[in-house]
Amino acid sequence: MRYRIEKDSMGEISVPYDRYWGAQTQRSCGNFFPTLEKMPMEMIYGLAVVKKAAALTNCKTGKLDKKRKDLIVTVCDEILEGKLDFHFPLVVWQTGSGTQTNMNVNEVIAHRGNEIAGEKLLHPNDHVNMSQSSNDAFPTAMHISAVLEIKRHLFPALEEGIRITNALEEENRHILKTGRTHLQDATPISFGQEISGWKEMLIQDKEMIEEAVKKLYRLALGGTAVGTGLNTPENFPAYAASEIAELTGIPFFTSPNKFHALSSKGSFVHVHGALKALAADLMKIANDVRWLSSGPRCGLGEITIPENEPGSSIMPGKVNPTQCEALTMIAVQVMGNDTAVSVAASQGNFQLNVFMPLIIYNFLQSVRLLSGGFSFFLKKCLCGIRPNTEKMEENLNKSLMLVTGLNPYIGYDQAARIAENAHKNNLSLKESAVSLGILTEEQYDSYIVPSKMI
């Protein structure tokens, strides 16, 4: 492999000839354990937005000339188009401020910009990082990437889930089945009512995330190293935030307190808490589906689900609820990520939180898993569930909790006698009521009408 020599404040270092990064990125490649957990590309794109907005603002204030501004903007656009993904190799486990990744982006923009210009016009620190510090650029990119991923991927998945559950609710609103609480038989419901509970979970989870994500609209950019705004031109924070808002279509604005913006990551804890609430509800929906489809002969068997692949390497004909299992594993991972984000956010020492790469890695993983995992669950499972009406009717008629409908007529104690006698002697509720002399068949039939109990 051919190399070139790059220099930084620590001296010279060899860099692969065909890579756009510079000395600081190369040092990072050798100084940190090379794991599979790379800095998410969404963060790189977020930093490209920051660099573009900063260049536009610095030019507007007269601090940066138009030629250099145009070069920075051109390379940022190339990054945002995914043309330079290969040039961002760094792992998550680096300095807690994300300095190495910030410099990786600065160096790639400078090197590629100079290549376009045919001369050395851009310096990674003096021009690309102008009016910034890693300490405010990195958290600003965190906010940008987090909000964009939620709006671009998670919300559409939730909207599709709401549409599908709404259709399923309507299709199944007249189908009666037994309800269940504590994994035990309960009073009747319609299958449509059961599905309506799933739909409302998605609606409310989306509302919670929509409200929470607004906390990420406040940007740290302009605080530079410790929140004082050292080396920024007048009005830089507000102008830069306005540029970011225009570039993204999101109403970002400058944080009124940069000391808070640099040191606290409570907003990520808050938003991820809403993601965890979604994960908890998706766990419940997936578990309901696999419980209801259990069997097919020795379980509940009240619904069928799509048969996507063989379920066993040894048991022929076995089909498993694989999409449910995938989604519940995702839910567990998100709950684990929530703990990681929460603990990491507590590590804001003095003027800076130094667990930021970990926070954004886990946060974006949660968004990605919830978005993609739920989308596949919808396409490969939920949209294809079908009620087994015969099994639902059989279970409904066997349920001892239909006896609850007798309470207004004979009282709780007498109704309990009927249920206990039926269970003990393997009788139907009607047979039990008549054998105990509490009701006639006609009375029982007039009182117990499942369709009137929902």
Instruction: Judge if 385 and 407 occupy the same domain.
Output: no
Mean pLDDT in residue range 331-349: 97
Mean pLDDT in residue range 96-120: 98
Asked if residue 237 belongs to a domain, the reply is: no
Instruction: Judge if 196 and 108 occupy the same domain.
Output: no
Mean pLDDT in residue range 148-176: 98
Per-residue pLDDT tens digits for 237-264: 999 999 999 999 999 999 999 999 999 9
| CATH at residue 35 | 1.10.275.10
Q: What percent of the chain has pLDDT over 70?
A: 100
The CA distance from 147 to 244, in Å, is 12
Asked if residue 361 belongs to a domain, the reply is: yes
The CA distance from 416 to 429, in Å, is 11
Mean pLDDT in residue range 391-419: 97
Instruction: Judge if 157 and 85 occupy the same domain.
Output: no
Asked if residue 404 belongs to a domain, the reply is: yes
| CATH at residue 384 | 1.20.200.10
Instruction: Judge if 93 and 74 occupy the same domain.
Output: yes
Statement: residue 1 has pLDDT above 90? no
pLDDT range class, residue 348, cuts 50, 70, 90: confident
Q: Output the average pLDDT for the chain.
A: 97
What is the pLDDT at residue 159?
Answer: 98
- Residues forming the active site: 182, 312
Asked if residue 346 belongs to a domain, the reply is: yes
Per-residue pLDDT tens digits for 177-203: 999 999 999 999 999 999 999 999 999
Structural domain boundaries enclosing 53: 19-130
Per-residue pLDDT tens digits for 73-89: 999 999 999 999 999 99
Mean pLDDT in residue range 374-399: 97
3-state secondary structure the chain: CCEEEEEECCEEEEEECCCCCCHHHHHHHHHCCCCCCECCHHHHHHHHHHHHHHHHHHHHCCCCCHHHHHHHHHHHHHHHCCCCHHHCCCECCCCCCCHHHHHHHHHHHHHHHHHHHCCCCCCHHHHHCCCCCHHHHHHHHHHHHHHHHHHHHHHHHHHHHHHHHHHHHHHCCCCEEEEEECCEEEEEEEHHHHHHHHHHHHHHHHHHHHHHHHHHHEECCCCCCCCCCCCCCCCHHHHHHHHHHHHHCCCCEECCCHHHHHHCCHHHHHHHHHHHHHHHHHHHHHHHHHHHCCCCCCCCCCEECCCCCCCCCCCCCCCCCHHHHHHHHHHHHHHHHHHHHHHHHCCEECCEECCHHHHHHHHHHHHHHHHHHHHHHHHHCHHHCEECHHHHHHHHHHCHHHHHHHHHHHCHHHHHHHHHHHHHHCCCHHHHHHHCCCCCHHHHHHHCCHHHCC
Statement: residue 38 has pLDDT above 90? yes
Instruction: Judge if 114 and 150 occupy the same domain.
Output: no
Instruction: Judge if 407 and 374 occupy the same domain.
Output: no
What is the pLDDT at residue 181?
Answer: 98
Mean pLDDT in residue range 143-149: 98
Instruction: Name residues whose C-beta falls within 8 Å of residue 391's C-beta, 6 or more positions apart in sequence.
Output: 300, 301, 302
What is the pLDDT at residue 162?
Answer: 98
| CATH at residue 448 | 1.10.40.30
Asked if residue 35 belongs to a domain, the reply is: yes
Instruction: Judge if 109 and 172 occupy the same domain.
Output: no
Mean pLDDT in residue range 123-148: 98
Instruction: Judge if 291 and 403 occupy the same domain.
Output: no
- Judge contact between 407 and 447, C-beta under 8 A: no
Instruction: Judge if 282 and 370 occupy the same domain.
Output: yes
User: What is the count of structural domains for the chain?
Assistant: 3
Q: Which of 102, 130, 158 is the last residue before a domain boundary?
A: 130
Statement: residue 71 has pLDDT above 90? yes
